[in-house]
Chains A and B, each alone.
Chain A
Amino acid sequence: MSSAFDFPGGIYPPERKQRSNQAALVSAPLPMRVTLPLQQHSGQASTPCVAVGEQVYVGSIIARREGMISSNLHASISGVIAAVSASHIIIEGDGQDTWQRLPSLDWPHSAPAELLERLNESGIVGLGGAGFPTSVKARVVEQHVIHTLVINAAECEPYITADDLTLRHHPTEVLEGAQILAKLCGAQQILIGIEDNKPEAIKALNKALPNSQPVPVALKVVATRYPSGGERQLIKRLLNLNVPSGGLPADVGVLCHNPGTLLAALQAVRDGQPLVSRVVTLTGEALTQPGNRWVRLGTSVKELLTQAGLDQTSVAQVIQGGPMMGTPLLTLDTPVTKLTNCLIAATIAELPPAPAESPCIRCGECESVCPVALLPQQLHWYARAKDDAKMERYHLFDCIECGACSYVCPSHIPLVEDYREAKGRIRLQRIESVKAEHAKHRFEFRQARLAREEAEKQARREARQAQNRRPHSHASTENSEKVDLRGLRIAHAAAKASVKKAEKTLARVAQEDPKQPLDDLEMQLATAQENLRATELQLAQAREQQPSKESS
C-alpha cells in the first residue's frame, strides 16, 4: 500500500543497504573498557555521581540528569570507575557482566507518572540520531493533544539498516514499546511508516500486528525516497499534516518515535534495564564482516570496526551516521554513544571526495529536490554574501539539512555546510541580542527600584515634616514646589497598565512554552511593579499636599 500524500522534491540515492542487512543482528563482544561521554543526548550534559575506584554493575547510574532537558547515564559494563572528567567517565571492565536492574513494571497497570519516571531514570533518549530525552518528549501531552503516535521506521538514508534489523528481530517488542508511549501520550492510533525497501521488516511487522493491544496499529508502507524519514516529511506522507514552521509534530497532534527507542523504552519498563546498549550498523566496503550489532555504549569505534574486519589499507574515511547527514570521524579513538546509529568504513572508490566546486549556474536542480520547497540556490547566494536578513526571509530555518541539494548540485557546492554555518551565526547573534535585552531590563529594574526607594524616603520625610509642622500652622506649604497632580495621575495609570501588561505576557508565555526561561519576563514585571509603587507614593504625597495648598 502506498500513501496518497506526498512532500515535494526528494532524491533517489543508491541505497547500499544490502551490505549490512544480510547478516543477523548479533551482540558485539563485551568491551573491556568503555568511555562514556556525559553528553550523549540533546540538552545539558549530565553530572557524574560516582568516584574513581567505585565498583559499578551494568545499569548502575553513573551520572545524573541536569536541568530540564537532560538524561541519566548508566554503566554499560560491570567493573571499576577508572576516570571521571568534565566530559566523560571511563570504566575498566571486570569481564563479569553483572547486572543491576530496576524492578520490572507491569505497564498496562502502572500509573503514567510511574512509567515516565522509569523512562527518565533509565536514560532513554531518541535513538534515531537526535537524542532527545524520551520522558521529556512524552510529557508534551501537558500542552498538546496527541492523536497519533508515528513509528518512524522509514530509515531513508543509504547504508543504515539498524531499524530494519531491529524490526526484523523484535517486531512484537517494538510494538509493545509503542503501546507504552501511546498510553503515556493518549494517542488514539499508532502508525508505522516504513519504506518499501524493507520487505522482511514489513513481513515481521505484519505478523506481529494482530497481537498489539490496546491502541489500534496500522502499517503504512511508503515508496522509497530520500528524505521520507524526516519527521515532517513522514508526517506529511502518512497523515497529510503540515508541521508548522518552527513548530513541533506535537503542534499537529503527532509524536514520532524511532523503533530502537521504543524497544529501549520497553526494556526499561518491562525488564528494568536502563539504556546501556544500542543497535549499530557497521558497513562500508572496507569492512569484511559488515552487519548490525548490539553494542554497549562507550565501546571504542576502533575496537568495534576491527572486530568487523576493518581493512586498514583501503579505508578512506569512517562516517558516523548516514552518508547524507552523517559526519566523518576525525579519529577512531572515539566511543559509540546513544546517538551512533551507523558507522560506515568507506573506501575511496565508494564515497569519493567531492570534486572541486564550480560556480552556481542557477540550474534549479536543488530547488526541485528540496523536500521543504526552499530555494537553495538563492540561499547559497545570500550565504556567501553573509546576508543574514535575506537568508531568514528565504526561510533558512526551515531547512532540515537533509543534503538533497548538495547531492544533486552539478557544481558540487557544499550547500548544507553553508546553511549550517549561517544558522550557527544567526543563532549566536540572536543569543547576543537577547543578552543585551536582558541586561537592559536588569538596568531598568535597578533604576525603578532606586526611584521607588527615593519616593519612599521622600514620603517619610514629608510625613516627618508634616508632624513637625502640625503644632504650627499650614504656613510653610506655600514654599513647597507646585505639584503636577494631573501628570502624576497619568503616570500612575500608565504604570498600572504596564504591570497588567507584564503579568499578561508572563502568563501567556508560561502557558505556551513552559520550557522557556521566564526570569527576564519576571524581571520586567518586577520593574513595572516598582514603577507603580513609586508613582503611587508620589501621587499620595501630592494629594496630601494639594488640599493643604488649596486650603491655605
Chain B
Amino acid sequence: MSRMHASQVNSRNAASVPSTAHLMRWVIMATLPGIATMSYFFGLGVVSNVMLAGIFGLGLEAAVLRLRKRPIRVTLNDSSALLTGVLLGCSLPPASPWWLIGVGMIAAITVAKQLYGGLGHNPFNPAMVGYALLLVSFPTYMTLWAPPQEFIPSHLWAQIAGTLPTAQLDGLSGATPLDAFKHKGEAVLASEFWATDPLPNDTLRAWRWVALAWLAGGVLLLVKRIISWHIPAALLGSLGVLATLFYLSDPSHFASPLFHLLTGATLFGAFFIATDPVSAATSRRGKLIYGAGIGALIMIIRTAGGYPDAVAFAVLLMNLCVPLLDMYSVPRPTGQQRTSPVKPGEQP
C-alpha cells in the first residue's frame, strides 16, 4: 500500500486530489453562484431554503448516527449531509415552508441515505429522493414558483413559517417557463404561444441567468477536477440532440433545444445532481451511458410525461440502472484479450 497520499503531500502538480470532505465542500462552494443568482431574481426565499435544508441535513444526520451508534463528529465533518441539504434547498420553490423542507430532508437523509448504510451506500441520490417525495405528496407547494420579485418579498416570513393561508399562496405563484409551455394546449402553436407573452415579466431571462450561473459552478467543478466531464457532457449532449430532433420534426409544437437546456433544472441537474458519484455509474463508459440516459429521460418526460420538469425522476430512474451499467461496462484491462470477461467459476 502506498505510504504516500495525495491529500497529504504538497505536490507541485495541480493534479493532486483532495479528501472526501474537501470534495463535498468544493461542490457546496460551486453552488454559490447559482444560489446568489437565484436569490437575486427570486428573493431571499432561496437562501432560507438552503439554510433550513442544511440545518435539517446536519441535525438529521447527527440524530441517525446517534441511533446507529456511529461517530458523529467525524461523519458530519465530511459535509455530505450539508451538501444534500444545499442541493435540495436549491431545488425547492423559494421560501418553502419549514415543514416541507423538513419532510424532504427526512426522506433524503434518514431514508435514502442512512437507512441504506450512510455515505457511499445509497443507491439513490438522496436530494432527489427528497424532491420526488415532496413533488408527488405536496404538488400545491412544489409548483409554487413565484415570478421574479423583490429581494425580500412581502409574505416571506409567513411563507417560511407555513402560516400563510392557501388561498393567498395561489396569488403569489406564477408558472415556470417549462410549466407554461407544457400547458399551452395542443391547438396552440409554439409561435402563437410565445406571441401571447405567456410569462410574467422577466421570467425567461431570470431562468436563463440562473442556468448560466449553474453552468459557471459546474465549470468550476470541472476545472478543479472535482467531477469528470463524462456525465454532464453525455447528459447535455443527449438532451440537446433529442431536443433538436424533436424541434426539427415539428418546430410548431416542440420547444427549441436552447429552451430545454437553459430552463428548468437541466444545467443544475447535469453538474450537481447527476454527478453525485455514489449513485452514478463508475466506469467511464458507464458514466457516458448513465448521463445520456438521464438526458433522454428528461426529454421523454418533459414532452410525453405528466410533469413539466423531469430531472429528479430521470436521475432516480437511471440510479436504478447503475448496477446493470456497472456490470456491463467493465473496461478491458491492458493485456486482456478482446473477449467477454471471464464468467464466474470459469478458469481464467
Contact = CB atoms under 8 A, between A and B. Distances in A.
Contact of A411 (B20, B344, B345): B20
A361 B119 contact: yes
> For B1, B19, B283, which residue has the most chain A Cβ atoms within 10 angstroms?
B1
Interface string A389-400: 110111101100
Contacts of B7: 355, 410, 412
Contacts of B330: 375, 378, 393-394
Interface string B12-52: 11010111101100000000000000000000000000000
Contacts of B283: 364, 367, 375
B120 A361 contact: yes
B20 A232 contact: no
A147 B11 CA distance: 39
Interface in A1-58: 7-8, 11-14
Contact of A364 (B1, B19, B228, B335): B228
B342 A378 contact: no
Main secondary structure of the interface of B (DSSP, over half): loop
Interface stretch (B164-172, B175-183, B274-282, B310-318): B274-282
B334 A406 contact: no
B12 A232 contact: no
Contacts of A356: 74
A323 B1 CA distance: 9
A11 B6 contact: yes
Interface in A354-409: 354-356, 358-365, 367-368, 371-375, 377-378, 389-390, 392-395, 397-398, 403-404, 406-409
B4 A395 contact: no
A323 B3 CA distance: 5
B155 interface: no
Contacts of A351: 3-4
Contacts of A326: 3
A517 interface: no
A346 to B, nearest CB: 8
A549 interface: no
B20 A158 contact: no
B154 interface: no
B249 interface: no
A389 B333 contact: no
Interface stretch (A215-223, A240-248, A253-261, A268-276): A240-248
Nearest to A356: B74
B17 A365 contact: yes
B2 interface: yes
B20 A403 contact: no
Given A393-B343, A395-B333, A410-B22, A378 B3 contact: no
A410 B18 contact: yes
A112 interface: no
A12 B335 contact: no
A415 B6 CA distance: 14
A251 B97 CA distance: 69
A379 to B, nearest CB: 11
A358 B332 contact: no
Nearest to A410: B20
B66 interface: no
Interface string B41-82: 000000000000000000000000000000000100010100
B153 interface: no
B348 A246 contact: yes
Interface of A: 7-8, 11-14, 158, 232, 236, 242-247, 317, 319, 323-326, 328, 346, 351-352, 354-356, 358-365, 367-368, 371-375, 377-378, 389-390, 392-395, 397-398, 403-404, 406-412, 414-417
Given A354-B5, A361-B278, A393-B330, 7 more contacts: A355-B7, A372-B334, A393-B341, A393-B344, A407-B2, A410-B7, A411-B19
8 contacts: A245-B333, A361-B80, A373-B332, A398-B336, A408-B6, A410-B17, A411-B19, A415-B1
